[in-house]
Structure 1
């Protein structure tokens, strides 16, 4: 990294560097120069003595020749210093960076790459001091586009979660040691902290005597742990050996375990709809210092929240379609209750994406007319059909977790126009998160006689 240090009163200027290395891309026609854009969010850094913060400046381009960004650092004088990769060119208070060479254009000529910028508070910068960083993105023939990012200096502790894991190859019956790691990115020590976790349904976390446990509305396990101690600026702390997590029979599909670290004195209130209770345990959750204090916080460490993503737990499960057989005479209105049942043991879980699960399709038998239907069902394609050509109805899922042993059923009112028509059917809408272990029972008939 090349560091740029500024003094107050420096005059702003922008230098366009000719011949700078750039990502390869198709030549742009004069009537289609393409475009170049970028984004650098607002930045908060700890006061003098805190580790630096690495922030990505994201460059996007499409069909542009020599896409790049020029940064004018004069607005940071006395507030913060910035360091850039060696492939950027610095002249005074102006820095020009090409599109990173790793950002290979795709077939359409579009490319995206990140320029890592490291910020430190300037010596003597006061708590609350702010500065602006102007940056302009452009190519050889594109119009320049200038934006600003605000850099703010804060004094005090600043706890960040360092976990951002993607894990493949775990399955039901395994025990996974989830990493737990935090760092204080501020300039002052943090005294005592709280770690909170959410384990989705099917994941069973270990018990610690300084943690409390509860179940939320989506049947996930919430854990709140009070960890005593002093956490020095820049020092990484970890849970030795990780947080043991068992994958129970209900585990199915992709899961994300969330974790958040906060100073205990200013921690947000715990969810009011979750009843937290302590568990008997032989051990306490303790965080140990690891390695030397960090000079710079890595680019992937951005906030107090982190997580572990467990990819595609195979799990076993069986969704069974529940049809109906009803009787009546022509002119009668009969009720048909249809839906799905999960015989388990796996539980389809939509909390990761925020979706509901258990949706299905219902096609009435030929010879009936739907005269009343549930509010969460509607014709698939906005055509209610006729007795001779019934439309298929879509019934939305009602829950975010489809537990083993539970059903999702609804009741339709059907007027019999004539008897002896072809049977209707019910089947799942999609096969989430995959085709189940017994697809032969995924479709069930609906018969009126």
Structure 2
């Protein structure tokens, strides 16, 4: 699954709404005069000192069953710290502003959700570290109103923000994609030199630049750390001309998220932990060029130093093979069977985005046998308690969040032979991730004891 910047905010808002709406949302037996409810959320905001571009904050407004849903804002707490401007649909009276539910609001299962953009700019002379507040109260006709507050902080200095948030469908193994790299300085001071850190999940191969270093992390992703020289003026957009060429290698499979983080070099954080970074031979340097006129207002969707390019459902080839076993013994004997899965590749199942289990398998012992010990990483599931000859199925976790091509995940099981039924056991993947592979006929294998 993937998460956009806006979707994260909406998710937080939904949590607030769900909490506030308990007992208030209309149900089948609700009275006809139920006023419904209105709720909203505005995050705390940091703006650059005087001379920096303004920042756009999103006030998310939600409502169900309410007449004239709106939000009133009290700007008294911003005096001397910041100014705020609102859409033309809002009505201003002194330091009080009232904004209706936006006409662009979406209706999902009877709940309206809209976004009111609030453009904030540091007041002239506001000192570094100055703070102010915006009070806001979502309400409707006869609804219960809940007053809230957001803090606005002024900071002086460079403030690099990443501008990339792309979603790509139809990418195919073997092709080269141009990954955008773009930044803007939202501070009031120039940034001199910066660091860009990118992470390419397993299968993706970025181009080589002489001012970058490369390494592989514990989940086989390529980490790329680049030192980019130059002066990045307030409000000025900079980008990598033609983008960063990235090849989708044979290991590419499923959803892929390429992340990037930009930082002023002077106060950049520590390098990625556990990654040995080395330079590559390259004829070119990664340079970020100024593009267009400086921005006077930073858009609402640009919120921080991190960005992403998301590749959806790359249909790479792969084959997961179940590894069964055969053991021979007499009644009362203990025999060992080693069972599991092997990834014949070339694609590499990768659960770093979805959180899905990768390389996990299920093992059902042959009827008439008893597992004598719990192997590490495995646990019984199912089986009918008190019913003879009904073995539990064992779940065994995968090797990690990636299942490399050519790798196996096997577990030894010690089985006591209680009866010779001739009914085989079986081993198979816990689930077909990220899809049924290219040879499903070998996804299950028998386990025989006789």
Q: Is the contact between residue 378 and residue 395 of structure 1 (CA under 8 Å) also seen in structure 2?
A: yes
In the alignment, the residues of structure 1 paired with residue 376 and residue 193 of structure 2 have an alpha-carbon distance, to the nearest angstrom, of 50
Q: What is the CA–CA distance in structure 2 between the aligned matches of 1:187 and 1:406, rounded to whole Å?
A: 52
Question: Are 2:383 and 2:391, in contact at CA under 8 Å, matched by a contact in 1?
Answer: no
Q: Which residue of 2 aligns with 1:398?
A: 399
CA distance in 1, matches of 2:345, 2:191: 46
Q: 1:185 to 1:335 in 2, by over 3 A?
A: same
Show the 5 A alignment for 1:7-18.
Answer: none
- Does the 8 Å CA contact 2:371/2:414 hold for their aligned counterparts? yes
Residue 195 (str. 1) matches residue 196 (str. 2): yes
| Structure-2 change in CA distance of 1:127 and 1:385 (3 Å) | farther
- TM-score by structure 2 length? 0.91
Deviation at 1:362, TM superposition (A): 1.0
CA distance in 2, matches of 1:398, 1:164: 31
Indicate which of 72, 92, 98 corresponds to 1:96. Answer: 98
In structure 2, C-alpha distance between the alignment counterparts of 1:384 and 1:249, rounded to whole Å? 46
Task: Note the C-alpha offset of 1:334.
Answer: 1.2
Q: Is the CA contact 2:160–2:186 (under 8 Å) kept in the aligned structure 1?
A: yes
Out of 82, 85, 88, the position equivalent to 1:86 is: 88
Query: 1:413–1:147: structure 2 CA closer, same or farther, 3 Å change rule?
Result: same
Q: Displacement, 1:439?
A: 0.7
* Cα RMSD (Å): 1.8
Q: Deviations over 1:303-348 (max 9, x none)?
A: 0000100011000001111111111111111111111110010000
Matched, 1:39 2:9: no
Task: For 1:406 and 1:292, locate their aligned partners in 2 and report how far apart those are by CA, in whole Å.
Answer: 52
Q: CA deviation at 1:385?
A: 7.3
Residues 1:324 and 2:325 are matched in the alignment: yes
- Indicate how the Cα distance of structure 1 residues 91 and 279 shifts in structure 2: closer, same or farther if over 3 A, else same: same
Which residue in 2 is equivalent to 1:106?
108
Q: Within 1, Cα distance between the matches of 2:385 and 2:219?
A: 33
The unaligned stretches of length 5 or more in structure 2 are 1-25
Deviations for 1:141-171, whole angstroms, at most 9, x for unmatched residues? 3210111100000111000000000011111
The corresponding residue for 1:125 is 126
- SS for the counterpart of 1:372 is coil
Q: Partners in 1 of 2:366 and 2:97 — Cα distance?
A: 71
**Displacement of 1:380:** 2.1
Q: Whole-Å Cα distance in 1 between the matches of residues 27 and 139 of structure 2?
A: 16
CA distance in 2 between counterparts of 1:45 and 1:409 reads: 54
Q: TM-score, normalised by structure 1?
A: 0.91
- Distance in 2 (CA, whole Å) between partners of 1:245 and 1:123 is 45
1:29 positional shift? 4.4
**Aligned match of 1:17:** none
Aligned to 2:295: 294
- Pick aligned residue for 1:55 from 54, 57, 82: 57
Q: Where do residues 24-423 of structure 1 align in structure 2 (5 Å cutoff)?
A: 29-30=31-32, 32-107=34-109, 109-381=110-382, 388-423=389-424
Q: For 1:305 and 1:329, locate their aligned partners in 2 and report how far apart those are by CA, in whole Å.
A: 62
C-alpha distance in structure 1 between counterparts of 2:225 and 2:70, whole Å: 46
- Number of residue-to-residue matches in the alignment: 424
Separation in 2, partners of 1:284, 1:45? 32
1:384–1:323 distance in 2 versus 1, CA, 3 Å? farther
Is the contact between residue 366 and residue 387 of structure 1 (CA under 8 Å) also seen in structure 2?
Answer: no
Deviation at 1:32, TM superposition (A): 3.4
Confirm or deny: 8 A CA contact 2:324 2:339 kept in the other structure: yes
Give me the whole-angstrom Cα distance separating, in 2, the residues matched to 1:238 and 1:384.
63
CA contact (8 A) 1:356 1:398 kept: no
Matches of 2:255 and 2:120, distance apart in 1: 36
